[in-house]
Amino acid sequence: MHTHDATNEFDAIVVGGSYAGLSAAMQLARARRRVVVIDAGQRRNRYARHSHGFLTQDGIEGSTIAALGQAQLLTYPTVTWIEGTAVNAVAHNGGFRVTKHDGQTLRGHRLVLATGVIDELPLIDGLTERWGRHVFTCPYCDGYELEQGNIGVLATSALSMHQALMLPDWGDVTLFLNGAFEPDETQLIALDERNVTIERALVRRVTGKADVEMRDGRTQSMDGLFVIGRTRIGSPIAEKLGCAIEQGPMGPYIRTDQKKASTVAGVYCCGDAASMFPGVPHAVADGAMAGAAAHQSLVFGTVATQTLKNE
């Protein structure tokens, strides 16, 4: 534990110390508030070699961006950094008491949840080990580097139409339906207009770099594969506290208002855990808003910053 403050009472507790959490903590630290960040170190993009699309940091390793953010944050004297997992949080005396994996408790007047999400990939042999290297989900993050080559979309539901219709801007697309859905007539016309090749044979596994082996024995060589998996929120803490949860197309996320206040007074949520739109730049912006809103709620009260009601 790197610490500038020996007590366990803080103005704000930030759970999750990646892009969103770091950015939230930065705003609180710059307001000279005592803030503790608890981080389990499992960034969502840890499987990828490089991070793309974040202004000034394009093509840099995701770990480098996070490490620089952490180093800059820790120059502020009111910041405490704890490596570990927050396992529970309860409302306590108008604030929150957070329990860590080792039983240590921390008290904070405000809680910022920046726990990210966990990806759940479809059960296709060979997919998981290529995740972030040759198998991706976000065209803006990883499409460009495929150099307009052969791109496979492994369908998981009709949602995969979205990827199949977008990705022709990045290369020659084959949509592997794999029995996940059958495009209707309108969808077939749209796919045709975008020059998408449709493959109906079932997929046996992914081999080589990103080669798709079909159950009928054929193998199709791809430069990269895209898949839409499911996500779940990185920690059950928000749900346990009673924060309202939205159901997005890929999975649940915490409901927040424009200032990133959740439906529970004093709890602010940011980044992938509280958004339908993942990405490092989004998480950083989201975190900055959550941190500033959490700070302002310490000055003006939670009512001034919270517009959502729990339903």
Ligand X SMILES: Cc1cc2nc3c(=O)[nH]c(=O)nc-3n(C[C@H](O)[C@H](O)[C@H](O)COP(=O)(O)OP(=O)(O)OC[C@H]3O[C@@H](n4cnc5c(N)ncnc54)[C@H](O)[C@@H]3O)c2cc1C
Q: From the CB of 247, what's the least distance to ligand X, in Å?
A: 18
Closer of 41 and 179 to ligand X (Cβ): 41
Closer of 60 and 198 to ligand X (Cβ): 60
| Tokens standing for residue 240 | 């346990």
Of residues 140, 130, 186, 142, the one with CA closest to residue 161:
186
Closer of 53 and 122 to ligand X (Cβ): 53
Q: From the CB of 193, what's the least distance to ligand X, in Å?
A: 28
Pairing, β 105-113 against β 95-100 = antiparallel
Tell me how many degrees the CA angle 108-118-228 measures, rounded to the nearest 5. Answer: 145
Cα first-last separation, the chain: 38
Q: Select the residue interacting with ligand X from 19, 170, 176, 268 (CB under 6 A).
A: 19
Contact 89, 115 (CB under 8 A): no
Kindly give the residue spans of alpha helices, DSSP state H, lying in the chain: 19-30, 62-73, 139-142, 160-166, 185-193, 237-241, 280-300, 302-305
Per CB under 6 A, 57 contacts ligand X: no
Instruction: Specify the stretch interacting with ligand X by CB under 6 A; choose among 35-43, 104-112, 173-181, 217-225.
Output: 35-43
Considering only residues 176 to 235 of the shown chain, the ones binding ligand X according to CB under 6 A are: 234-235
Q: Select the residue interacting with ligand X from 14, 18, 255, 298 (CB under 6 A).
A: 18
Closer of 53 and 168 to ligand X (Cβ): 53
Place of tokens 């996940």: 180
Q: From the CB of 182, what's the least distance to ligand X, in Å?
A: 28
Closer of 113 and 191 to ligand X (Cβ): 113
Q: Select the residue interacting with ligand X from 10, 13, 26, 52 (CB under 6 A).
A: 52
Q: From the CB of 225, what's the least distance to ligand X, in Å?
A: 12
Binding mask 247-286 for ligand X (x = CB under 6 A): ------------------------xxx----xxxx-x---
Q: How many angstroms separate the Cα of 213 from the Cα of each of 3, 21, 202, 205, 284?
A: 52, 41, 9, 5, 39
Q: From the CB of 166, what's the least distance to ligand X, in Å?
A: 16
Q: From the CB of 141, what's the least distance to ligand X, in Å?
A: 3
| Tokens standing for residue 44 | 């969502």
Question: Per-residue DSSP letters for 105-172?
Answer: EEEEEEEEE---EEEE----BTSGGGBTTTEES-HHHHTGGGTT-EEEEE-SSTTHHHHHHHGGGTSE
Considering only residues 97 to 126 of the shown chain, the ones binding ligand X according to CB under 6 A are: 114-116, 119
Q: From the CB of 65, what's the least distance to ligand X, in Å?
A: 9
3-state secondary structure of 287: helix
Can you give the C-alpha Rg of the chain in angstroms? 21
Q: From the CB of 136, what's the least distance to ligand X, in Å?
A: 6
Of residues 292, 299, 290, 304, the one with CA closest to residue 113:
290
Q: Which residues bind ligand X (CB under 6 A)?
A: 15-21, 38-45, 47-48, 51-54, 85-86, 114-116, 119, 131-132, 138, 141, 234-235, 271-273, 278-281, 283
